[in-house]
Homo-oligomer: A and B are copies of this chain.
Amino acid sequence: MVIVMRLSASQEEIAAVNDELKRYGLEGHLIQGVNRFVIGAVGDRRDLVAQGLEVLPGVEKIVPIMRPFKLVSREAQEEPTVVRVKDVAIGGREIVLAAGPCAVESREQIYDAAVRVKAAGAKILRGGAYKPRTSPYSFQGLEEEGLKILAGAGEETGLATVSEVVDLPSLDVARGYVDMLQIGARNMQNFRLLQAAGRSGKPILLKRGLSATIEEWLMAAEYIMSEGNSQVVLCERGIRTFETATRNTLDLNAVPVVKELSHLPILIDPSHATGVARWVGPMSRAAIAAGADGLLVEVHPEPSKALSDGPQSLTPMAFTRLAQEVKRVAESVGRSLQDVKTPDQSRYTFAG
């Protein structure tokens, strides 16, 4: 950390900052700049509350140098983490497709979705049982009944399952049914939930908050890891910006940035990121080309009947096509998608 002193800072004020640094166990290096003093403080800011320094007389500002995360960082572990969900590995050479409806609505709907996304190449079945909805008057999910249905569909098809948890009780229930727990964007800084996820013994899918910086997102993962759970998969799903043409702005820059800062795998959710089914394909291809480890895609047997997020849901047929397109892109960047059939080449004539 660097402490920038004001132009007018006195020798006494500089000495007081140095004393305070010592109190924190830090060593201060005084640098005389062109027209002010700067103090380089050596030590680990991550274990201390150094905000008090900013309030000391003569201090203009504190500039942090080190990143605040530890366990999630590449410095802590150079090898990429491969997270295992049932028998599916996320973070290896093989791209992982997770797919299914936004919400579990009925046994028929989920079984239909499960069979068809599996046939298309998906390895993980998604479906929400606890739905965080902007309006209290919207469908809020089938809760435990929904988890039962999802788990049944997973068992029957052999797909691994993932579902969102929204508080401690839902997490406790979901642990008994699904293979992976999802923390949604709106709960990314629900620190109690993160800590419980860290003690859950389950792999966690951690979505990025709508307005979370990459650093804050990694700190949320740090919460989970600091409780002893290293099975964390990050998921970018679009951030909130001024642009209204799309539901959110997909931040694919996050893929190489996360890969550089952290050893954790990263998926992309192109459905929430765009909000429009016909833009999910291009963004899925882009995500894999950027280096993402897989996709989380909303697929509904009948999007116009969906109780939630219909406009961004793919039909099973559209998902099959997407998987084939993604397979080709994956191979072009040295990745693979083994159980997806090679598409008919003739489809790829450029049409503008």
Contact = CB atoms under 8 A, between A and B. Distances in A.
A213 B285 contact: no
A192 interface: yes
A269 interface: no
A56 interface: yes
A323 interface: no
Given A211-B210, A213-B243, A352-B80, A286 B278 contact: no
Interface in A268-322: 273-274, 277-279, 282-283, 285-291, 303-311, 313
Contact of A310 (B54, B66, B215): B54
A240 B244 CA distance: 12
A239 B2 CA distance: 27
Copies of this chain in its oligomeric complex: 4
Given A42-B33, A51-B309, A289-B288, A249 B253 contact: yes
A2 B63 CA distance: 10
Nearest to A55: B304
Name which of A55, A65, A349 has the most chain B CB atoms within 10 A of its CB.
A55
Nearest to A30: B29
A242 B49 contact: no
A306 B2 CA distance: 20
A326 B138 CA distance: 42
A290 B273 CA distance: 14
Contacts of A211: 209-211, 240, 242
A257 B286 contact: no
Interface of A: 2, 4, 7, 20, 29, 31-35, 38, 40, 42-44, 46-47, 49, 51-56, 63, 65-66, 68, 75, 79-80, 91-93, 132-139, 166-170, 186-187, 189-193, 195, 209-211, 213-216, 219, 222-223, 226, 239-246, 249-257, 260, 273-274, 277-279, 282-283, 285-291, 303-311, 313, 325, 328-329, 331-335, 347-350, 352
Given A51-B309, A92-B350, 15 more contacts: A31-B42, A33-B65, A40-B40, A63-B65, A68-B134, A91-B352, A167-B192, A211-B242, A213-B242, A239-B242, A240-B242, A260-B278, A282-B289, A285-B333, A289-B289
15 contacts: A32-B42, A34-B42, A34-B43, A35-B75, A55-B304, A55-B313, A80-B352, A136-B191, A186-B189, A243-B253, A249-B249, A249-B253, A283-B290, A325-B333, A334-B348
